[in-house]
Chains A and B, each alone.
Chain A
Amino acid sequence: MPKPEFVYVTYIETTPEKLWHALTDGNFTERYWFGAHLRSDWKVGSSFEMVRGDGTVSDAGKVVECDPPRRLAYTFVNQSDRYRNEFPALATFVLEPYGKLVKLTLTHEGFAEGSQFLEGISKGWPAILSSLKSILETGQPLEIPYAALKLDS
């Protein structure tokens, strides 16, 4: 049985500094992350939140690791009734420069067997990280309709 985790690797024509900014600046994340404004002071142990346009918090957790522009790790779980009782699993971003490219590896792990949230993030991350690559390379995010994630199926 495969481990209950999600791994995503992509390559982006950018610099580690720009990619770090894109992953940690709330005003920037709003543009490609389904409108989510990431809110944290990025100190280890500090709170980490995804804030919707109306000011409500959709997801919450804590910063576990922050080593700019190389490694960023935080826990979070969605605050809706469907997921909020799940253990907040750990998302780790590793940024490795190769010439004009940065290899970005996201590992999201620590889910319980049968986690519904793992199913949800497995649909969400490819859309978010694909849009992140587009905005850094073209200046424009992807406009992926939220419904296209088919979170309910």
Chain B
Amino acid sequence: MTFDLEPRGNIVKLTVTHDDIDEGGKTFLGISEGWPMVIASLKSILETGRSLPSDLKSSSQKEETHA
């Protein structure tokens, strides 16, 4: 997988590419839920000094029970 960082003035554009995985497979479904959480929390901790609250975890668990 690849992290691409491009500076734009006071901002950095981060592009995460995770490829070579089977679309619709377990890994694909898992990382499709996981990456948005991790990246959203990364953005928060860099901008506010605080990561997102652990309510993220309950979000993940809730979705697993739906799956």
> Do A137 and B36 touch (CB < 8 A)?
no
The range of chain B's interface size is: 20 to 34
Give the chain A neighbours of B26 by CB distance below 8 A. none
Q: Given that A100-B55, A137-B47 are contacting pairs, would A11 and B11 also be in contact in the complex, using a CB cutoff of 8 Å?
A: no
Q: Number of A interface residues at 8 Å Cβ cutoff, please give it.
A: 22
Q: Footprint of B on A, CB under 8 Å?
A: 9-13, 96, 98-101, 103, 126, 130, 133-134, 137-138, 142-145, 148
Among residues of A, the one whose C-beta sits closest to the C-beta of B23 is A2
With the chains together, A137 CA to B37 CA distance in Å?
A: 15
Contact B59 A144 (CB under 8 A): no
Given A11-B52, A98-B62, A101-B52, list of 16 further CB < 8 A pairs? A13-B44, A13-B52, A13-B53, A98-B55, A98-B59, A99-B55, A101-B53, A101-B55, A101-B59, A126-B13, A133-B43, A133-B44, A143-B10, A144-B11, A145-B9, A148-B8
Residues in B with CB closer than 8 Å to A103 are: 59
A96–B59 alpha-carbon span in the complex (Å)? 9
- Minimum Cβ distance to chain B for residue A12 (Å): 7
Determine the chain A residues whose CB is within 8 A of the CB of B58 once the complex forms: 98-99
Residues of chain B with a CB closer than 8 A to A130's CB: 43
Q: Scoring B residues 33 to 45 as 1 if CB is less than 8 Å from chain A, else 0, what string do you get?
A: 0001101110110
B65 within 8 A of A: no
CA distance A96 to B36 in the complex (A): 14
User: How many A-B contacts are there with CB distance less than 8 Å?
Assistant: 56
Residues of B within 8 A of A96 (CB): 59
28 contacts between A and B (CB under 8 A): A9-B36, A11-B36, A11-B40, A11-B52, A12-B40, A13-B44, A13-B52, A13-B53, A98-B58, A98-B62, A100-B53, A101-B53, A101-B55, A101-B59, A126-B13, A130-B43, A133-B40, A133-B44, A134-B47, A137-B47, A137-B48, A138-B47, A138-B48, A142-B11, A144-B11, A148-B8, A148-B11, A148-B13
